[in-house]
Amino acid sequence: MKVVRRTARRHPGERMLLSFIVIILVGTFLLLLPASSVDGQAGFLRSLFSAASATCVTGLVVVDTGTYWTLFGQIVILLLIQIGGLSYMVMTTMVISSFRRRARLSLRQAGDFRESVPIPLREDPAHFARLIALSVIVFEGLGALFLSLRFLRTMPVAKAVWNGIFTSVSAFCNAGFDVLGGGMTSFEPYVGDLTINLVVPALIIAGGIGFPVINELVDRLHQKQHRRLSTHARTALVMTALLILGGTVLIFALESITPTVFEHMSLKERLFSSWFQSVTARTAGFNTLHIRGMHPTSLMVLILLMFIGASPGGTGGGVKTTTFAVVAVFVWGVMFGSDQTHLGNRGITKGTVNKALVVFVLSLAIIIGGTFLLAMTDGAKFSTLDLLFEVTSAFGTVGLSTGITPMLSAGAKYVLILVMLAGRVGVLTATMTLLSPIQQREGPVRFAEDDVAIG
């Protein structure tokens, strides 16, 4: 009698999580090599934290990227940013679809791709992967060109080109790493520079808006009769515009009340820095303002922007703009007695609302839990606001910091690594993957209904 063994197939989300872990470990090994650091002694935790931050496109650093890591180390970090920003599954699909244009992807490859990028069911993953590849080449190429030309004014040619390429990739992937050599103040000298304040935010917005939205906008340009954008695209675009505008106004107003960081700035520099900081707080992590010197109310605004983050299917993190929008309109509808959650004139399905609520609550739980753990390890050295800012930055894969990252204890750094990983792969994906063994044992059970008092 022939015995057939059934092997459990891994869920795409589980493969996605494992792929990020493997990439982080490979990056850690490469950064541990003597050729990667100027002193040849990076150490395990420093290499692991840097590799995790680069792969999760976060930007939190324990050493200055431009001065501590050698050219080889910087190249490793740049590759980790590019792979992490697009995800291994997307890059694999891009390579396959480029070399096998007429071949169809396997069901597993298509499933992995859809797990990484929430594309409509009618869209062909291979075609969509080629669109992503073209978007990366165009945006990062143009960004590198403009930034290199700008850096040529003050740097040698080789250094200017390398800085332009690195900054462009880091900005489009919403990573927040830079090799300018100034640590947390790298971009502060460019606070009033027109090129930097236009090109870098443009790259951040393009990478964070999401490839599904880019796809719709490209299709709309190619069509003679413009069809209406989907509810998803309209929500992502409107929320992005509102958050950037609102963040700019709030930062400008709050910092003008107690102008510590604005003290020696002109009106132009104040406006540019408010705009720049509002954009980069949405998962990118560059700063032209001295974060440590900002007013606590401004830090709270940045925490909110970091928590919301970018849009689905892009290179940024956070709970995502559409998730926040769905939760907001759901709460609004419940308060005013509406029996349907809707965005504009389109109702949102109950499944989508439930998923948004779960993502929102789990994200809050991770941030609160992470802050609690950091308070246990480093609460005596840093304020709760500083620790909350750090954890939210890690979860939103932002990279902004009040400057405490290098001074955190080893335990706190390990916590931030886990928070960064959860923020990058998606809180729902990470949680469902960890709970999958329990889900396989527990079948669906329905219980008799009852009521409890609320409020």
Strand partners, 342: 347
- What's the pLDDT score for residue 96? 57
Residue type, 164: G
With a threshold of 0.85, does the pTM exceed it?
A: yes
Vertex 325, ends 210 and 138: CA angle to 5°? 15
Q: What is the pLDDT of residue 184?
A: 67
pLDDT number for residue 127:
74
Alpha carbons 174 and 311: distance in angstroms, whole number: 12
- What are the two backbone dihedrals, phi and then psi, of residue 347, each rounded to the nearest 5 degrees? -75, 150
Local mean pLDDT, 10-residue blocks, the chain (455 residues):
48 76 94 94 94 92 92 95 78 59 60 68 73 87 96 93 95 90 78 94 92 85 73 92 96 88 90 94 87 92 94 87 93 85 85 90 94 95 95 93 93 95 78 57 67 76
**CA atoms of 213 and 119, how far apart (whole Å):** 10
Greatest alpha-carbon pair distance for the chain in Å reads 85
Q: What is the pLDDT of residue 126?
A: 73
CA angle, residues 394, 273, 154, in degrees to nearest 5: 100
Q: What is the pLDDT of residue 404?
A: 93
Write the DSSP symbol of residue 69: B
Q: How far apart are CA 219 and CA 421, in angstroms?
A: 33
For residue 115, how far is the Cα from the chain centroid? 16
Instruction: Please give the pLDDT value at position 211.
Output: 86
DSSP, collapsed to helix, strand or coil, labels residue 343 as: strand
Tokens of 205: 């917005």
Q: State both tokens at 279.
A: 């954009």
| Cα torsion 348, 354, 357, 363: sign | negative
Inter-residue contact 326 to 358 (CB < 8 Å): no
10 Å CB burial of residue 209 (0-12, 13-18, 19+) is: buried
Residue 76 is predicted with a pLDDT of: 96
Helices (H), ranges, 100-210: 107-116, 125-151, 157-172, 194-208
pLDDT of residue 9: 56
CA pair distance 109, 124, nearest whole angstrom: 12
- Check if the beta carbon of residue 228 is closer than 8 Å to that of residue 299: no
Cβ density class 106-121: b for 16+ within 10 Å, e for less: eeebbbbbbbbbebee
Query: Which one, of 290, 281, 312, 315, lies nearest residue 54 by Cα?
Result: 315
CA 309 to chain centre: 7
- In this prediction, residue 39 carries a pLDDT of 92
| Residue ranges of domains in the chain | 12-430
